[in-house]
Structure 1
Amino acid sequence: RIHLRRGQTVLIHAATGGAGQICIQYCQWIGARVLATAGTEEKRRFLREHCGVEYVFNSRDTSFVNGVRSILPHGVDVVINSLSGILLQESIKLLADHGHFVEWGKRDVFDKTQLSMFDFRSDCSFHVIDLVSLSQGHPDICSAMLQEMIDLLIQGKLKAIEPTVVYEPSQVIDAFMRSNSGQVMGKAVVRLTNSNESLCLNSVHHNNLPEGNNIMFPSTVCRQGTI
């Protein structure tokens, strides 16, 4: 949809997760200039030292707006967003003329958040990404994208997500809680093959579950271990 080109600028929010890391690698392979945000100093250091991102800002408040503007006064060509509320709205204002805003979060979509059309006045576009819908309606497109990623991994142009934490089926609730904490990096993977353990679903979990706007899944999802 975007046709990213060498030399363009991309702001990737909350970039230490699996999707964010692959997005960074892909943009760097294209030759785009990457800026990123993350929620803790540990995560920001990881992006600078491990992922080679020069400019990294805080994703938990709007301080990234002035940070990006100080480097790119005219804004960025692409924003890859998973933030919500005022952070999403301020990110839209960072778009350069003819820019693209890619929304892969779901909170504002399902909250029916209203956006100002004025912020898109300079020939900007807004893309809501839903891979489930895309795979159902256009499986050929999804297959082509997946094959491209596999080819790039085989060629060594992309590398595996770090860290990748593997859970057994009986630990699926722990996997959800890890993802829900807002403090982790990388990817949580539940091993559904080559395991002697049964998949633990709909069991009661007695630990305290995180609450607030920084969590990925509702508490009921963590308690039941289901999507």
Structure 2
Amino acid sequence: MRAVQVDEYGAPEVLRPVELPDPVAGPGQAVVDVAAANVMFLEVQIRKGWGKEFFQVSPPYVPGSGVTGRVASVGEGVDPALVGTEVVVDTGERDPETGRAESPTGGYAEKAVAAAEELIPVPDGLEARQALALLHDGPTALLLERAARFEPGQRVLVLAATGGAGSLVVQLARRAGAHVVAAARGAEKLALARELGAEHTVDYSEAGWQDRVREITGGKGVDTVVDGAGGELGASAYPLVADGGRFVSYGASSGEFAEVDTDDAERRGITATGLLDLQDGKGDAEYSRALTEQALELAASGAFRPHIGRTFPLERAADAHAALEARTVLGKVLLIP
């Protein structure tokens, strides 16, 4: 089968098309003919050598952690009626205790093998590529929604508002009746944010963008910040949170999460929630699957929709990574074998 492999850490060019043996389904497994593979910024960071303390990934490896397609074959102990079913599924090595994927590998290929119990059928009314775009960002957006506790009339600032999860958060906040200020980079992304429901937009690549947010809110600041950027940019949004508000941060596109002065947060009554707080106690496979199924059903019902910014042929995985690093993509990036 055709696949893309990383033989050494480095620039996008280390993503190299290769021919590998077709995977065979073992007991409890299924092989999926891949129609599309998800591309996440996390995979970009791991390709460069980041996150070794979190992920057991080292070259050579096939990147990718989510695919959609039809079940081609099943192993011992798996219902053969699954063959032909259109599914989405995580790939990669599994944590033996939680059953969750712990290494984002195995997705950039024509065929992928996964645990049959992890296969999630694509619901009626939802296109397979949209389902794939929600596989990881859908559950993340729902966790962010629960942490942020969106309410009617609430003032919400969303950073990286046109990213995979950020674009869903904008829609969830508006659905709850909140007033959304979307922060992103460039006119094209700001236009998409308005299309998704943001009432106001600010370009955080421009000097004084924080003053613009204060102006929009009449000097009151916002009740909640949902930070998908992290690093210095995320930290610079923290002072915009009004006393008693919430700062929910999950992004680390710069390689670092936003740091918050915990003493200041306590003094001002601000609840600061990080990515690990979102996942604490919710890391089991059953909970993750329930969140994914909820996200898929919401999308199928029209409650929100993922935005697929670009698709690339499988062999152009390097171009897909380069586009993500250049911050030129609106929404999700997918590879098509």
TM-score by length of 2: 0.50
Match of 1:95 in 2: 241
Match of 1:105 in 2: 251
**Structure with greater Cα Rg:** 2
Q: CA deviation at 1:93?
A: 0.6
**Residues in 2 aligned to 1:132 and 1:68: alpha-carbon distance in whole angstroms:** 26
Q: CA deviation at 1:107?
A: 5.8
Match of 2:324 in 1: 179
Q: CA deviation at 1:34?
A: 0.6
Q: CA deviation at 1:155?
A: 1.0
Q: What letter is aligned with 1:51?
A: L
> Which SS does the other structure have where 1:137 is aligned?
coil
> Which SS does the other structure have where 2:268 is aligned?
coil
**Residues in 2 aligned to 1:157 and 1:71: alpha-carbon distance in whole angstroms:** 27
Displaced runs of 4+ in structure 1, greater than 4 A? 110-114, 130-136
Taking a change above 3 Å as real, the CA distance of residues 130 and 90 of structure 1, as seen in their structure-2 partners, is: same
**Residues in 1 aligned to 2:289 and 2:270: alpha-carbon distance in whole angstroms:** 28
**Residues in 1 aligned to 2:245 and 2:201: alpha-carbon distance in whole angstroms:** 20
- The correspondence for 1:123, drawn from 269, 285, 304, is 269
Superposition map of 1:129-144 within 5 A: 129-130=275-276, 137-144=283-290
Match of 1:18 in 2: 164
**Which moves more between the two structures, 168-177 or 131-140?**
131-140
Q: CA deviation at 1:38?
A: 1.3
**Residues in 2 aligned to 1:21 and 1:107: alpha-carbon distance in whole angstroms:** 16
Q: CA deviation at 1:86?
A: 3.9
**Residues in 2 aligned to 1:54 and 1:112: alpha-carbon distance in whole angstroms:** 27
Task: Show CA shifts across 1:188-224 (max 9, x none).
Answer: 0124xxx4xxxxxxxxxxxxxxxxxxxxxxxxxxxxx
Assess if the C-alpha contact under 8 Å between 2:158 and 2:166 holds in 1: yes
- The correspondence for 1:54, drawn from 171, 179, 199, is 199
Q: CA deviation at 1:184?
A: 1.9
**Which moves more between the two structures, 171-180 or 136-145?**
136-145
**Residues in 1 aligned to 2:277 and 2:262: alpha-carbon distance in whole angstroms:** 25
Match of 1:79 in 2: 225
TM-score by length of 1: 0.72
Task: Show CA shifts across 1:4-25 (max 9, x none).
Answer: 2222121011212221211111
- The correspondence for 1:66, drawn from 211, 215, 221, is 211
Assess if the C-alpha contact under 8 Å between 1:15 and 1:36 holds in 2: yes
Root mean square deviation of aligned Cα: 2.7
Match of 2:143 in 1: none
Q: What letter is aligned with 1:60?
A: S
Report the identity percentage: 26
Match of 1:218 in 2: none
Assess if the C-alpha contact under 8 Å between 1:135 and 1:142 holds in 2: no
Which of the pair is proportionally richer in strand?
Answer: 2
Higher-RCO chain (CA-CA 8 Å, sequence separation at least 6): 2
**Residues in 1 aligned to 2:257 and 2:295: alpha-carbon distance in whole angstroms:** 32
Instruction: List gaps (5 residues or longer) in structure 2.
Output: 1-146
Assess if the C-alpha contact under 8 Å between 1:62 and 1:90 holds in 2: no
**Residues in 1 aligned to 2:319 and 2:154: alpha-carbon distance in whole angstroms:** 39
Match of 2:44 in 1: none
**Residues in 1 aligned to 2:182 and 2:326: alpha-carbon distance in whole angstroms:** 20
**Residues in 2 aligned to 1:3 and 1:147: alpha-carbon distance in whole angstroms:** 21
Q: What letter is aligned with 2:200?
A: Y
